[in-house]
Amino acid sequence: MSGLVKDLARLIGDNNVLFQPEDLLAYANDATHYFRTQLPDAVVLPSSTQEIARVQAYAYEHQIPVTPRGAGSGLSGGATPVKGGIVVDTKRLNRIVEIDRANMVAQVEGGAVLQNFHRAVEERGLFYPPDPQSMSVCTLGGNVATRAGGPRGVKYGTTGNYVTGLEVVLPDGSVIKTGGKFVKQSVGYDLTHLMTGSEGTLGIITGVTVRLVPLPPAHRTVIVVCETLDQAAEIVSEIIARGAVPSMLEFLIKLAITVMNNYVSQPLPTDGEAFLLMEMDGTPAQVESDVQTIKEICRDMKAQEVLEILDEKAAQSYWNARSNIYPLIMTIFNRCTSEDITVPRSRIPDLVRAVQEIAASVGIMIGLAGHAGDGNMHPTVLQTEINDEMAARANKAIELMIRRGLELGGTISGEHGIGIHKQEYLAWELDQVQIELMKRIKAAFDPRGIMNPGKIWVEGGAQ
């Protein structure tokens, strides 16, 4: 047992420290499994803010890297401990502290699993819309740290639109509380939203306060089968322009539907090239009116088929299969790299065309699904083999797609964050002045550069 492990055991108890190689291996990467670079030296499983603060103060004193981790479902390598040190697994901080109906807010611990939180608020007739598709495992702290989105972003916005307050353990072990239950605040810099999207580089989020909305009383699923990717992209733009905004509007290609069909109660037709999976929510009258508008649009734009799914079980099976599309595709291909390029909605057809052209010119398969309603596409580069030639082609395709996304007025990441996966493209989107400013902010929070080092910008933060 190393000195580090002994010290950590003394600080939070020996049952709460992992150090065996097989345990360390499980914490060496996130869902981007191919980014494993180095094992952590130890993993801690604290159960309280105080325990995290003790570990953090110790790491600060000894200048040991600390990587915060929720479920490790990230798709940018953010929770990967690239410089070893301590991984802080937050999953035991999983309490839903309060659901406050009068103020329409809730307070949860940073390691609470999103789906458990959804269920708890929905049982009370309330609704927390952000819905990253990893919701069965991902944590609220991880969602805040990545500013996570999901299909409902099109109508409801993403995590950043709901966070009103945080409890954070800073790199030196001090604890701050930002914001609160109120919905507005004008008191100096907005530290709540500075922490939101900070990818574990400024501190560890131990408490989250979010606002809630009323649970919509009705919803309906509609699936549109389109002849071409272009047609699907144009229908998306028209639906939004006509104001019938679905609560979820997902874009899928034939490959995705073919995979999903193995897991749904009634298989979908696969004779189209592109598919739109939508849910409308609201009052029954609003849902009915939106469904009619969408049917009209699809008729006018000559969609191949429109399926209204009235059987709730069947609808749920399509959404479950959609949520699991990434793990399902992983069972077929050896490596899948999911991008999250986001463009202004009107440029979706251009992005879709570009992805098709890039796949053909580079000679690699690129799956295409995404939260089309908010311009956030997930072109996923699919590798049938792991070898240098395939890897070079995959990198080329990613580079070209990112370049094209920026040319279309988009961003390199709509919801996954930069982590280590997109570091080399950061300067393609942000000018040097902004990057330097971010580094100075990092240095102000973390003068010793111990907090999730090696992330966001290439040279490793403020070190």
Ligand X SMILES: Cc1cc2nc3c(=O)[nH]c(=O)nc-3n(C[C@H](O)[C@H](O)[C@H](O)COP(=O)(O)OP(=O)(O)OC[C@H]3O[C@@H](n4cnc5c(N)ncnc54)[C@H](O)[C@@H]3O)c2cc1C
Site residues (CB under 6 A) for ligand X?
30-31, 67-75, 78-79, 90, 110, 132-134, 138-139, 141-143, 145-146, 148-150, 199-200, 204-205, 326-327, 415-416, 419, 452
Ranges of H-type helices in 147-227: 153-156, 191-195
CA atoms of 389 and 387, how far apart (whole Å): 6
User: Closest separation between CB of residue 390 and ligand X, Å?
Assistant: 22
DSSP per-residue string spanning 267-279: PPP--SSEEEEEE
User: Closest separation between CB of residue 323 and ligand X, Å?
Assistant: 7
Nearer to ligand X, 397 or 420 (CB): 420
Helix axes 284-300, 229-241, angle to 10 degrees: 140
Nearer to ligand X, 128 or 231 (CB): 128
User: Closest separation between CB of residue 111 and ligand X, Å?
Assistant: 7
Q: What is the total residue count of the chain?
A: 463
Task: Report the half-sphere exposure of 337 (CA within 13 A, side-chain side).
Answer: 25
User: Closest separation between CB of residue 146 and ligand X, Å?
Assistant: 4
Q: Which residues contact 174 (CB under 8 A, 6 or more apart)?
A: 53
Contact of 137 with 118, CB cutoff 8 Å: no
Q: What are phi and psi of 159, to 5 degrees?
A: -50, -45
Nearer to ligand X, 229 or 325 (CB): 325
User: Closest separation between CB of residue 319 and ligand X, Å?
Assistant: 12
User: Closest separation between CB of residue 307 and ligand X, Å?
Assistant: 23
Q: Distance between alpha carbon 422 and the CA centroid of its chain, in Å? A: 14
CB burial of residue 2 (10 Å; 0-12, 13-18, 19+) = exposed
Nearer to ligand X, 129 or 272 (CB): 129
Nearer to ligand X, 71 or 225 (CB): 71
Nearer to ligand X, 133 or 178 (CB): 133
User: Closest separation between CB of residue 198 and ligand X, Å?
Assistant: 7
CA atoms of 206 and 50, how far apart (whole Å): 10
Contact of 124 with 192, CB cutoff 8 Å: no
Nearer to ligand X, 221 or 338 (CB): 338
User: Closest separation between CB of residue 308 and ligand X, Å?
Assistant: 25
CA atoms of 5 and 447, how far apart (whole Å): 24
Nearer to ligand X, 150 or 405 (CB): 150
